[in-house]
């Protein structure tokens, strides 16, 4: 990423803690243009985003960011803000019987990126790109939810619950907890898909180790080794997936296989080989369906499921929630589009439990997820907040 000519931010009176990784103080200054932007009130619109990104929070180390966000939501006028039993940050606006849960995640992948604003360049004469780990995945979407709900405020008969979940990048511990705590009428999941797109589906996942064992034999015996048998197993699994996918036009409907690792070893009397097989599942293949089929394909090899398997999920398109977001995006001059993703998200965890209308929304280019130059355009962030505010207003009116 850029190493010089950074734009620094005074915080406009907001306390972002003492994290030295955050932007420097005093004023917003572009060293190339020599302009002081310390009085630009528009920077207030980005205090939540900049402050949250400034909190380093890889999975397992989210506490500081959670505490900061709880404090931030309180300052924005939320009726309640607290840390729940799983360590999630939770903000509640309103006390109505009908509920909208906006679920983002506050953790990031490892890899620290200095939090800086840089010129685009911009006709506004200020920094337009915010660099930092999580600016896209997925503190941008989470901050968008926080700001949008704060702008909507209390609506009679409704309650908004904004959650910054922990551990999404590992085993989704935070989402697994909240799935049992709420029963919303509508759910909005925060992931980056560009401000003018709505994601309606995420594929499932069912990773497994496949182990092959063979008796020890002389290398000149001509007998099949465990490693050779494992290669043969992989080719069979791949052939099945190719056959399954042959008549599927959309990637979302296909089995997406990956061979994520292979190792082998031997003892005095036995040799073994192990494949680490990853798969992204379509909606019509559940994790249990896949494991049954995998056992059938591999014969005498042993299938060992690993981690947490999650089913694919496709959201209903014709709902008041989807229509509200379509209108919200259009209100900001956007041409809304739908997208179906090949990865997984907390949607896969909560949607099967809540069984309510849901969408996935958030600013940022997902192609920048987990990359060393992760950044978000402030203009896109502001549009996403306004679009979400409009959508929520339409949804609950």
In this predicted model, what pLDDT tens digit does every residue of 186-198 receive, in sequence order?
Answer: 999 999 999 999 9
Cα–Cα dist 335/326, whole Å:
8
Cβ-defined contacts of 28-34 (< 8 Å, 24+): 28/117, 28/126, 28/127, 30/5, 30/119, 30/125, 30/126, 30/127, 31/4, 31/5, 31/6, 32/5, 32/119, 33/119, 33/125
Of 121-135, 326-340, 347-361, minimum mean pLDDT range: 121-135
Cα–Cα dist 349/386, whole Å:
27
CB 362 within 8 A of CB 146: no
Burial of residue 277 (CB within 10 Å: 0-12, 13-18, 19+) is buried
First-to-final CA distance of the chain: 44
% pLDDT > 90, the chain: 80
Give the pLDDT band (50/70/90) at residue 11.
very low
Is 171 a known active-site residue?
A: no
Checking if the pLDDT of 366 tops 90, the result is yes
Looking at residue 284, the DSSP 8-state letter turns out to be T
**Per-residue pLDDT at 1:** 33
Checking if the pLDDT of 231 tops 60, the result is yes
Domain ranges within the chain, ordered by starting residue = 7-202+312-396, 204-305
Mean pLDDT for 104-116 is 95
Nearest to 47 by CA among 12, 89, 83: 12
Q: What's the token pair of residue 307? A: 């981690």
Q: How far is CA 5 from the centre of its chain?
A: 30
CB 114 within 8 A of CB 32: no
Contacts of 143 (CB under 8 A, 6+ apart): 48, 49, 52, 53, 381
Q: Does domain 7-202+312-396 have CATH number 3.40.630.10?
A: yes
**Per-residue pLDDT at 214:** 83
Secondary structure (H, E, C), 340-375: EECCCCCHHHHHHHHCCCEEEECCCCHHHCCCCCCE
Burial of residue 115 (CB within 10 Å: 0-12, 13-18, 19+) is buried
**Per-residue pLDDT at 65:** 98
Mean pLDDT for 101-117 is 95
Contacts of 223 (CB under 8 A, 6+ apart): 214, 217
Of 107, 128, 167, 346, the active-site residue reads 107
CB 365 within 8 A of CB 237: no
**Per-residue pLDDT at 42:** 41
Checking if the pLDDT of 157 tops 80, the result is yes
Is 107 a known active-site residue?
A: yes
**Per-residue pLDDT at 124:** 55
CB burial of 346-370 (b: ≥16 within 10 Å; e: otherwise) equals bbbbbbeebebbbbbbbbbbbebbe
**Per-residue pLDDT at 43:** 46
Its CATH architecture, for the domain 204-305, is: 2-Layer Sandwich (3.30)
Q: Do domains 7-202+312-396 and 204-305 have the same CATH topology?
A: no
**Per-residue pLDDT at 266:** 80
**Per-residue pLDDT at 30:** 33
Of 9, 168, 185, 390, the active-site residue reads 168
Cα–Cα dist 376/380, whole Å:
8
pLDDT digits (tens, 9 = 90+) for 160-176: 999 999 999 999 999 99
Mean pLDDT for 91-98 is 98
DSSP calls for 320-344 = HHHHHHHHHHHHTT---EEEEESS-
Looking at residue 58, the DSSP 8-state letter turns out to be B
Where do we find the tokens 């989402």? 175
**Per-residue pLDDT at 223:** 79
Checking if the pLDDT of 27 tops 60, the result is no
Give the pLDDT band (50/70/90) at residue 264.
confident
| Summary mean pLDDT of the chain | 88
């Amino acid at each position: 990423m850029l190493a010089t000519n950074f734009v620094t931010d005074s915080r406009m009176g907001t306390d972002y803690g003492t994290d030295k990784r955050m932007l420097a103080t005093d004023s917003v200054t572009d060293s190339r243009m020599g302009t002081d932007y310390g009085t630009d009130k528009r920077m207030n619109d980005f205090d939540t985003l900049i402050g949250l990104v400034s909190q380093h929070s890889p999975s397992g180390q989210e506490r500081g960011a959670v505490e900061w966000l709880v404090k931030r939501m309180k300052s924005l006028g939320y009726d309640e803000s607290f840390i729940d039993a799983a360590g999630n940050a939770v903000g509640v606006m309103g006390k109505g019987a009908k509920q909208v849960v906006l679920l983002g995640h506050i953790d990031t992948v490892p890899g620290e990126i200095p939090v800086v604003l840089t010129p685009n360049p911009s006709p506004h004469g200020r920094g337009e790109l915010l660099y930092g780990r999580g600016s896209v995945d997925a503190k941008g979407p989470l901050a968008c939810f926080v700001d949008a709900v704060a702008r909507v405020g209390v609506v009679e008969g409704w309650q908004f619950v904004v959650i910054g979940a922990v551990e999404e990048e590992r085993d989704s511990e935070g989402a697994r907890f909240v799935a049992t705590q709420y029963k919303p009428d509508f759910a909005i999941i925060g992931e980056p898909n560009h401000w003018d797109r709505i994601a309606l589906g995420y594929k499932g996942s069912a990773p497994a180790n496949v182990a092959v064992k063979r008796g020890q034999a002389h290398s000149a015996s001509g007998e099949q080794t465990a490693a050779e048998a494992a290669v043969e197993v992989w080719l069979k699994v791949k052939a099945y997936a190719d056959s399954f996918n042959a008549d599927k036009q959309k990637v979302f409907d296909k089995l997406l296989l990956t061979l994520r690792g292979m190792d082998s070893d031997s003892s005095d009397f036995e040799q073994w080989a192990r494949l680490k097989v990853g798969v992204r599942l379509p909606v019509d293949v559940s994790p249990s369906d896949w494991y049954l089929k995998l056992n059938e394909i591999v014969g005498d090899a042993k299938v060992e499921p690993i981690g947490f398997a999650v089913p694919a999920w496709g959201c209903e398109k014709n709902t008041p929630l989807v229509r509200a977001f379509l209108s919200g995006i259009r209100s900001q001059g956007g041409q809304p589009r739908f997208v179906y993703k090949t990865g997984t998200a907390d949607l896969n965890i909560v949607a099967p439990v809540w069984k309510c209308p849901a969408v996935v929304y958030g600013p940022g280019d997902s192609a920048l997820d987990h990359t060393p130059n992760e950044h978000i355009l402030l203009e896109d962030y502001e549009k996403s907040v306004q679009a979400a505010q409009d959508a929520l207003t339409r949804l609950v009116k």
